[in-house]
Structure 1
Amino acid sequence: MAAELPAKLKPAARVAGQRQDVWSIINEAAAASPKQPIVNMGQGFFGYNPPPFIINAAKDALNRVDCNQYSPTKGRPRLKRAIADAYTPFWSHKLDPDAEVTITTGANEGMLSAFMAFIEPGDEVIIFEPFFDQYISNIEMPGGKIVCVPLAPPKDGARRTCSSAEWTVDFEKMEKAITPKTKMIVINTPHNPVGKVFSKEELQRIGDICVKNEIIILSDEVYDRLYYVPFTRIATLSPEIERLTLTVGSAGKNFYATGWRVGWLMGPPHLIKYVSAAHTRICYSSVSPLQEACAVGFEQAEEEGFWDETVRDMRGKMARFNESQDAG
């Protein structure tokens, strides 16, 4: 048992009370299973490499002097341009890579930067439950208070296999959860862990409520290339909603490279500049050669047919998994 620390050496409350995270719980349970080897589906951990054109780009970048030095704190220009070019077709205007995109050390650090940029002690952040557990510490670090609004499963969901689309937002509970202290709302679509892709109608209603109450929207869209039904980006619904929205992306999820820790946020300049400022103070800049490789990834993904291949392969894996479950 650890010795009690003297009062002057005690850690800050923001880390002292941290409970064991869900990944550690699941990983320990998997390791302790009497049946081995075991497939651990408790963490987004790819069991295969990024495609060759991305790996080769990373190797090439390591041979360049400029790619082995600090990147600009807001990200390498080539990657910011590649992201702006890749997402402009979904937006109502051409994205400005310098004013509307900032590169972060993974999506998680990007979200922490967003919370650090806007949340002060006592501010409330609404999140839909269940949710990615890392939101908790990220919101609590700057002193924010989490307010949960449940996603409701279908009433007979315990008795039958149902679509994640049947999980619904209780808008009455959502509106009741809003107070004068509500500063931000977090949306995750496609959703982890439910898998729900929020409908355009749901997002429009959420967006309208946020516009009415002047609430910042943090839209976690790290799985934005893995969907099998129509997918709507909340920032694209109206200029009024876009003005309040920060969109989170992840090269780790897009290119099967979670260990690379390359993410980004997109949003209007009046929001993104403060995210960039917080990011600068948290880690200054992100890994240079892997940013360059991710830029090549975006530049070549369409030509390589990579996005379509990603969806096709994942659907195949999901179908095989479901067949094995049915057979069991």
Structure 2
Amino acid sequence: MYAAFTAFLDQGDEAIVFEPFFDQYISNIELPGGVVKSVPLTPPSNDGTDIVSSSEWKLDFEQLEKTITEKTKMIVLNTPHNPIGKVFSKEELLKIGELAVKHNIIILSDEVYDSLYYTDSFNRIATLTPELARLTLTVGSAGKTFSATGWRVGWVIGHPELLKHVTAAHTRIVFTVNSPLQQATADAFNQAQTNTYFSDNVESFKKKYAIFNSVWDELGLPYTVPEGGYFLLVNFNKVDFESVEKTVEFPEDIMNRPKDFKLAYWLIQEFGIVSIPTSEFYGKENEHMGENYLRFAVCKDDHLLEEAVEKLRGLKKYIKN
């Protein structure tokens, strides 16, 4: 992705991201001189009281078009989405694509969780129209696909006219790559075509979500049901935050951060459970939209998730009636 940004962003060029976003987008855009412009995905109004679907987090297409300027060079799309778990529908992708074609904007489609979706189908924006095939760079990851995140083996698929610039940038950023792991990735794909790896992996993650979500169901804490990926957003608005603040002394660098940072720190101290503050996936202007949520990862052994459920049951005494 950094090679793609470096290939097409000059000083002052703008790239649009959808909040919440994978935090590395920001540094990758800014290093070559790009400017980040953000458009939030809005949760449904009942997300603080009810279990909701990630499909209910909506993009405001009017706001998206208003954000586009003559300096806009790229739109960053992430589906399945980290951290929400949203799988963008064909209709949503076509609307994004219509704006990209209209303004001749490159789409960088981050699809690293493309083998982990729980919907009936998964749509790739590059396959929807010839115009979008010409404008889209699709990013994949062996680390996510084969549960080997430390490998850092990825790829970009796109029209040759786009790829030649990405390749030129990549050569100067990386110069050489880990060939044995590339070969291993190729072999893994060949084997996965002949066995049930992909479907087994999906079923495995469905089980992990069922284990982990059982505690939120018990506690009555609402969460967003993901359509893809392996993350979970839990809304902590029902937790008595005033009581939490009385139980722990926060370090100085946490004191001036949004509420979710304090909640995440408290969860570690009180229960030994690590989460990610969701406001970190927003820019400064909209970080308040994430401060009631914590992001959890379920890509753990089942017994660890079961241990986490036992520990998290201790939250019950902090739930507001």
The alignment's TM-score, normalised by the length of structure 2, stands at 0.67
Corresponding residue for 1:300? 191
User: 1:48 aligns to what?
Assistant: none
Q: What is aligned with 1:134?
A: 24
Q: CA offset at residue 284 of structure 1?
A: 1.0
Moved over 4 A (4+): none
Structure 2 matches for 1:1-328, cutoff 5 A?
Answer: 111-229=1-119, 230-327=121-218, 328=313
Say which SS state the counterpart of residue 149 (structure 1) adopts. strand
Which secondary structure does the structure 2 equivalent of 1:284 belong to?
coil
Any idea what the Cα deviations from partners look like across 1:172-225, whole Å, max 9, x if unmatched? 100000000000000000000000000000000100110000000000000000
One-letter identity of the residue aligned with 1:173 = Q
**Structure 1: which 5+ runs fail to align?**
1-110
1:233-290 CA-to-partner distances (Å, cap 9, x unmatched) read: 0000000011000000000000011111100000000001111110000011210111
User: What does residue 259 of structure 2 align with?
Assistant: none
Deviation, 1:294, is 0.5
**Cα displacement string for residues 142-182 of structure 1 (whole angstroms, at most 9, x for unaligned residues):** 00000000101101211111000000010010000000000
SS in 2 for 1:224: coil
Identity, % of aligned positions: 61
- 1:52 is matched with none
Query: Distance between the aligned counterparts of 2:38 and 2:168, measured in 1?
Result: 28
Per residue, is there more strand in 1 or in 2? 2
Q: Secondary structure at the match of 1:247?
A: strand
Report the Cα distance in structure 2 between the residues aligned to 1:185 and 1:286, rounded to whole angstroms: 27
SS at match of 2:193: helix
Equivalent position SS for 1:264: strand
TM-score normalised by length of structure 1: 0.66
Amino acid paired to 2:87:
V
Name structure 2 gaps, 5 residues minimum. Answer: 219-312, 314-321
**Structure 1: how far apart are the matches of 2:40 and 2:216?**
28
C-alpha offsets along residues 103-160 of structure 1, whole Å, 9 cap, x if unaligned? xxxxxxxx00000000000000000000000000000000000000010110121111
Residue 155 of structure 2: SS of its match in structure 1? strand
